[in-house]
């Protein structure tokens, strides 16, 4: 009998203002225990000021085989970058 509870993905924020980053996962019976386990496993040295846990089956992700077509339009549109544009010499703040 599997008495380990649910699998949760853990995201930790290293300091105020930083984004939450994926740290790994934990098993726990509910969210409160998942947070406590996540603190014990991923923050023994104060690596987190905030922790999120998400049930693993609630994470949806792209798959490597999607990669090409799914992301295709975004890596060959140079006009989305500032370097694409020319500005007359000497003009400041553009």
Partner 1 sequence: MCYILFEAIKENMNEEQKLADFEARIERGEIIEPKDWMPERYRRQLIRMMSQHAHSEYVGMLPEGNWITRAPSLRRKMVLLAKVQDEAGHGLYIYSATETLGIDRKELLDQLLNGTAKYSSIFNYPSLSWADMGTIGWFVDGAAIVNQTMLAKSSYGPYARAMIRICKEENFHKKQGYEIITTLANGTAEQKKMAQDAVNRWWWPSLMMFGPTDKESPNSAELMKWKVKIKSNDELRQRFVDLTVPQAKAVNLTLPDPDLKLNEETGHWEFGHINWQEFYNVIKGNGPMNKERLKARNEAFEKGKWVREAALAYAKKHNN
Q: Which residues bind partner 1 (CB under 8 A)?
A: 2-5, 24-31, 33, 40-41, 44-45, 61, 63-64
Q: In a 3-state reduction of DSSP, which class is residue 90?
A: coil
Run of H or E including 47: none
Phi, psi of 37 (to 5 degrees): -65, -40
Give 1 or 78: the residue with its C-beta nearer to partner 1.
1
Give 30 or 57: the residue with its C-beta nearer to partner 1.
30
Strand partners, 69: none
Run of H or E including 33: helix 31-42
Shortest distance (Å) from residue 24 CB to partner 1: 5
Give 18 or 41: the residue with its C-beta nearer to partner 1.
41
């Amino acid at each position: 009998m599997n008495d380990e509870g649910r699998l949760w993905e853990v995201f930790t924020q290293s300091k105020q203002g930083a984004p939450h980053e994926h740290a790994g996962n934990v098993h726990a019976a509910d969210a409160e225990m998942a947070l406590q386990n996540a603190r014990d496993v991923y923050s023994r040295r104060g690596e987190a000021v905030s922790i999120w846990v998400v049930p693993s089956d609630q994470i949806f992700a792209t798959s490597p085989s999607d990669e090409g077509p799914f992301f295709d339009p975004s890596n060959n549109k140079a006009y989305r970058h500032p370097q694409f544009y020319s500005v007359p010499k000497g003009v400041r703040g553009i």
